[in-house]
Amino acid sequence: MKKVIMPFLMVLLLAIIPFVGVAWARLDYLFGVILPYTAMVVLIGGFLYRVVDWLRRPVPFRIPTTCGQEKSLDWIKQDKLESPSRAWHAAARVLSEVLFFRSLFRNTKAELHEGAHLAYGSTKWLWLGGLAFHWSMLLIVIRHARFFFIMVPGFVDFLTDADALFDVTLPAFYITDALVLAAITFLVLRRLKDAKLRMISLPTDYFPLFLLTAIVVAGILMRYVAKVNVMPVKDQMLRLLSFSFDAPGEIGVLFYVHLFLVCVLAIYFPFSKLMHAGAIFLSPTRNLCNNSREKRHVNPWNAPIKFKSYTEYENDYRDKMKKAGLPVEKQ
Amino acid sequence: MSKYAPKVTVLKKELEEKPGFLKGNYSDKEWWDIPVEFREGNWCFPGKPEVLDDLGFPNPRKWAATDQDWKLPDGWQKIISDGLQSRLKKYRSLKLFLDTCVRCGACADKCHFFLGTGDPKNMPVLRAELLRSVYRNDFPLAEKILKGFSGSRKLTPEVIKEWHMYFHQCTECRRCSVFCPFGIDTAEITMMARELLNLIGVNNNWLLAPVSNCNRTGNHLGIEPHTFVQNIESLVEDIEDHTGVKVEPTFNRKGAEILFVTPSGDVFGDPGVYTMMGYLLLFHHIGLDYTISTYASEGGNFGMFASNEMMKKLNAKMYHEAERLRVKWILGGECGHMWRVVHQYMNTMNGPADFLEKPVSPITGTRFDNAAATKMVHIAEFTADLIHHKKLKLDPKRNDHLRTTFHDSCNVARGMGMFEEPRYVLNNVCNTFHEMPENTIREQTFCCGSGSGLNAEEYMDIRMRGGFPRANAVRHVMQKHQVDSLVTICAIDRASLPTLMNYWNPGVKVYGLHELVGNALVMQGEKKRTEDLRENPMAGFEEGDDDED
């Protein structure tokens, strides 16, 4: 299983780098200032570049995948979400994909029963795991806002309190921490367990999962085990956010592991499949209206072609046409 | 049975004996290490040199997929690589779909070819990876440093063979794209891959010969104008024999209100001709002012399966002819990929059709606003509207000898979104209709296994496997509800499903929707009807004292 071990070792190696770099080589400045700035520039610049690069390419045809009744006769009920005919229908369709993974919710599992009989069962595990993973990630990122603002916005406090509903540990235990780890574990295990998934998975599928695991684990260790002092962390983050290049204060090395892996993730992001975060908004089978018979759409490169005209056709077949009693343009 | 397919018992046994869908043990293999193997029944004969010459397609030569050397042209790697680059610039869809996949596997067991063959490279995700792996090779530096990390590979003749095999084991049916969380549509990828293959002369004669025919004679079957007319005239005679009514279609008539265009399979192929008879009866019944063109005599468009330019070229005839004949609008017959082209491409490619008028039904006055720009209406929409306004005299009992189910054709389902109209029509012309299981109909419908130009005899093995999920769903209603009639609105279905049914579900016959309409229509001045359009006895109409002869 080279394609699993290789990304695993890569993440391990990456986690050791800041350990050595900060604890032994004292490169706090590199890891606490230069790298975060670089990573953010690469992430934002790279992300924008990729999205603009997609947007620059034309969409020659309206090719929505219609998963519901089109708009036709007025007594037939249109499925506005799955066969959108107006821009806001299509927008709702895309949002339902982004927020609720609507297409994945449809997922089925085919089974071959005795007598070569095919059956299809509903299977929501991937949908559930994916949803738990992405939403937990989002909440965790929002929670981190308290490190970036002096005055923490109210909804961040609210979400943080909600996340710490099960106040069983000290400091309070976050539900999303457990959820995200459980979801990642599921996402890794399903790739290993199912023969089909084993076959299709690449190292680039395991790498981000392992990287995220390492980031989460480092974060959890900082909070619950090593109990890294958060004040210098917050100071440093505020400095970064005000574009200051001042050297960071004394912070536990575990923080640098966490931060470094986040930087790696940020740098890796624009070059990888993680760009699906931007692509999902642009997918032409989901974000276009199914109205190309109602409204003409223009293809910017609509290449001129030469087709066989009626005149050429008649020239080829005039005698036969006349014999068959067909009207002709020229006798 | 075809010599190109195994016996059904053999295939059944194979499906039963190996549990799970992935046939074979792949525990120690990566997909890119599995060689392709061409054998009888799994490849289509390549395009004949004269067909390629006629189309101006490159690299005409004699070759076979089983040959070691495919005689690719000099510099073929560059042709492919440049071809890919130019298509990436022209289609955002291609670029996005190559970039976006996270290999979540939701599509894996959605493909009929995967379910029927158990071949891992028939999982839509891997089908796309066949191209993606070459596309990724654009970053050779990263690949050199992290060898094997990104799953990229070099373009070799082996890769071309693999593409040829698996991009012809995709019918561009889009079922996978329904389930993909990013809407990645393998049909887009297959279309592009086939275009690339055509650039180096790797092709399929069963697909290209109709393209060449259509360019020359106006239709896929290569029927010349006089034969085209003769054939419809013979259907007119058959109709008169069966019903006592003489229908009077006109050809190439200027000033008709409506131009009717349907796949040529309806004019020449069995059982398509019965559907044609249904159209003719319907038009006569309502007194429609229409004409049929021998020049724009093809609704279908195999160009779509070869290249974008070919699709545009073949489709251009419809508007050209509509303009010449000065009709008001165009009515289109039952066909799958024809309607993908008409619905999603036609106006963009060949429009604007300013010389036509917004379609209005001359019988009911209904304005087809959904076709306001393209000015082309689907016959099922047209007929549903007629029935809704009670303009047809129908006797559904005349189809009581048929127990029906409905097969949604892929393109009409997932490329157009027409689900209710044909069902509404069907329910009004017959009394016994049972749906197949819900995961096999509507947007989740399964392809016939022979779409996108793969209906070749020599491809029977793959076709019977690819059609297995569809056949299986039919078998379900056959056993549960004694269904014996599979109704469809696609000419490829009418050509391919009879073979599939004979193979998996003997006894099930295939019908076009308008054939059943033709059976049910109570025509003015008709004689007593005891037989349907196929001359099969109707149930409940066989009184002894019939006055025929």
Q: Where are the domains of chain A?
A: 2-300
Helix orientation angle between B225-243 and A310-323, rounded to the nearest 10 degrees: 60
For residue B526, the distance in angstroms to the closest alpha carbon of chain A comes to: 28
**B374 contact A CB<8A:** yes
pLDDT at A173: 85
**B24 contact A CB<8A:** no
Amino acid found at B25: N
B285 lies in the same domain as B147: no
Look at chain B and report how many structural domains it folds into.
2
Q: Return the biggest CA–CA distance within chain A.
A: 99
Domain membership of residue B514 (yes or no) is: yes
Distance CA A78, CA B320 (A): 32
Q: How far is C-alpha B479 from the geometric centre of its chain's CA atoms?
A: 27
Q: In the predicted model, what is the mean pLDDT of residues B378-405?
A: 97
B195 lies in the same domain as B105: yes
Of how many residues is chain B composed?
549
Give Cβ neighbours of residue A88 (< 8 Å, ≥ 6 apart): none
Domain membership of residue B527 (yes or no) is: no
Q: Tell which residue, B42, B331, B344, has the closest CA to residue A63.
A: B344
- Summarised one tens digit per residue, pLDDT across range B159-177 is 999 999 999 999 999 999 9
The residues with which A208 forms a beta bridge, in sequence order, are none
Domain boundary among B175, B203, B231: B203
Residues 254-283 of B with CB under 8 A from A: 254
Q: H-type helices in B106-150, by residue range? A: 112-117, 124-135, 140-145
Domain membership of residue B265 (yes or no) is: yes
Q: Residues of chain B with pLDDT > 90: what percent?
A: 90
Residues 471-490 of B with CB under 8 A from A: 472-473, 475-476
Q: Is the pLDDT of residue B547 over 50?
A: no
- Summarised one tens digit per residue, pLDDT across range B238-251 is 999 999 999 999 99
Domain membership of residue B462 (yes or no) is: yes
Within 8 A of A310 by CB-CB distance, chain B residues are 295, 317, 320-321, 324
* Cβ-defined contact of A82 to B218 (cutoff 8 Å): no
Q: Is the pLDDT of residue B73 over 80?
A: yes
Domain membership of residue B544 (yes or no) is: no
pLDDT at A161: 85
CB atoms within 10 A of CB B118: 18
More confident residue, B2 or B289: B289
Distance CA A220, CA A214 (A): 10
Distance CA B128, CA B108 (A): 11
Residues 332-351 of B with CB under 8 A from A: 342-345, 347-349, 351
Distance CA B521, CA B292 (A): 21
Domain boundary among B203, B233, B267: B203
Q: Is the peptide bond before A203 cis (omega within 30 degrees of 0)?
A: no
* Cβ-defined contact of A196 to B120 (cutoff 8 Å): yes
Confidence of residue B549 (pLDDT cuts 50, 70, 90): very low
Closest residue to B417, CB basis, from A54, A66, A130: A66
**B210 contact A CB<8A:** no
B424 lies in the same domain as B492: yes
Distance CA B298, CA B264 (A): 5
For residue B540, the distance in angstroms to the closest alpha carbon of chain A comes to: 33
Q: Which two tokens stand for residue B8?
A: 């059904």
The residues with which B377 forms a beta bridge, in sequence order, are B331
Is-contact B455 B205, C-beta < 8 A?
no
- Summarised one tens digit per residue, pLDDT across range B31-58 is 999 999 999 999 999 999 999 999 999 9
Q: Is A26 exposed, middle or buried (0-12, 13-18, 19+ CB in 10 A)?
A: exposed
**Parent domain of B502:** 211-520
Q: Residues of chain B with pLDDT > 70: what percent?
A: 97
- The CA-atom distances, in angstroms, between A205 and each of A192, A243, B103 are 11, 34, 7
B223 lies in the same domain as B341: yes
Q: What is the CA radius of gyration of chain B?
A: 24
Closest residue to B109, CB basis, from A109, A280, A303: A109
Of how many residues is chain A composed?
331
Closest residue to B347, CB basis, from A207, A290, A292: A292
Q: From A191, which residue of chain B is nearest by alpha-carbon distance?
A: B104
Residues 430-469 of B with CB under 8 A from A: 437, 439-440, 443-444, 468-469
Q: Which of A194, A285, A330 to mutate to test the interface with B (most CBs of B within 10 A)?
A: A285
B340 lies in the same domain as B314: yes
* Cβ-defined contact of B417 to A58 (cutoff 8 Å): no
In what order do the strands lie in the sheet containing B485-488? Answer: B404-407, B485-488, B509-512
B246 lies in the same domain as B168: no
Q: Tell which residue, B70, B149, B15, has the closest CA to residue A117.
A: B15
What DSSP line would sit under A116-131, residue for residue? Answer: TEEEEEE--HHHHHHH
Q: Is the pLDDT of residue B488 over 60?
A: yes
**B364 contact A CB<8A:** no
Distance CA B494, CA B269 (A): 9
Q: Which two tokens stand for residue A322?
A: 């006349």
Q: Tell which residue, B317, B319, B266, B325, has the closest CA to residue B296.
A: B317
A with B: how many residue pairs have Cβ under 8 Å apart?
326
For residue B528, the distance in angstroms to the closest alpha carbon of chain A comes to: 33
Q: From B120, which residue of chain A is nearest by alpha-carbon distance?
A: A196
In what order do the strands lie in the sheet containing B290-292? Answer: B290-292, B258-261, B329-332, B376-378
Distance CA B421, CA B384 (A): 6
Distance CA B161, CA B181 (A): 30
3-class secondary-structure state, position B544: coil
Locate tokens 């940020």: which residue?
Answer: A266
What DSSP line would sit under B90-104, residue for residue? Answer: H-HHHHHHHHH----
Classified by CATH at the fold level, domain A2-300 comes out as: Fumarate Reductase Cytochrome B subunit (1.20.950)
Q: Which residues of chain A, if any, have pLDDT below 70?
A: none
* Cβ-defined contact of B443 to A68 (cutoff 8 Å): yes
B506 lies in the same domain as B481: yes
pLDDT at B543: 64
Domain membership of residue B13 (yes or no) is: yes
Q: In the predicted model, what is the mean pLDDT of residues B64-85?
A: 96
Amino acid found at A238: L
* Cβ-defined contact of A294 to B370 (cutoff 8 Å): yes
**B366 contact A CB<8A:** yes
Is-contact A279 B96, C-beta < 8 A?
yes
Phi first, then psi: what are they for A303, rounded to 5°?
-70, 135
Q: From A284, which residue of chain B is nearest by alpha-carbon distance?
A: B93
Within 8 A of A2 by CB-CB distance, chain B residues are 148
CB atoms within 10 A of CB A171: 11
pLDDT at B548: 44
Domain membership of residue B144 (yes or no) is: yes
Distance CA A296, CA B351 (A): 8
B239 lies in the same domain as B172: no
Q: Are strands B258-261 and B509-512 parallel, antiparallel or unpaired?
A: unpaired
Confidence of residue B143 (pLDDT cuts 50, 70, 90): low
Within 8 A of B316 by CB-CB distance, chain A residues are 305, 307
Q: From B25, which residue of chain A is nearest by alpha-carbon distance?
A: A195
Domain boundary among B203, B236, B257: B203
Locate tokens 């025919």: which residue?
Answer: B213
Confidence of residue B137 (pLDDT cuts 50, 70, 90): confident
Distance CA A43, CA A264 (A): 10
Q: Is A103 exposed, middle or buried (0-12, 13-18, 19+ CB in 10 A)?
A: buried
B196 lies in the same domain as B232: no
Within 8 A of B473 by CB-CB distance, chain A residues are 118
Q: From B28, which residue of chain A is nearest by alpha-carbon distance?
A: A1
Closest residue to A66, CB basis, from B146, B347, B414: B414
* Cβ-defined contact of A58 to B309 (cutoff 8 Å): no
Q: Is A137 exposed, middle or buried (0-12, 13-18, 19+ CB in 10 A)?
A: middle
For residue A88, the distance in angstroms to the closest alpha carbon of chain B comes to: 17
Q: Which of B21, B109, B184 to mutate to test the interface with A (most CBs of A within 10 A)?
A: B109
* Cβ-defined contact of B92 to A284 (cutoff 8 Å): yes
For residue A158, the distance in angstroms to the closest alpha carbon of chain B comes to: 31
Residues 173-192 of B with CB under 8 A from A: 174, 177-185, 188
B129 lies in the same domain as B227: no
B188 lies in the same domain as B45: yes
B322 lies in the same domain as B468: yes
Domain membership of residue B531 (yes or no) is: no
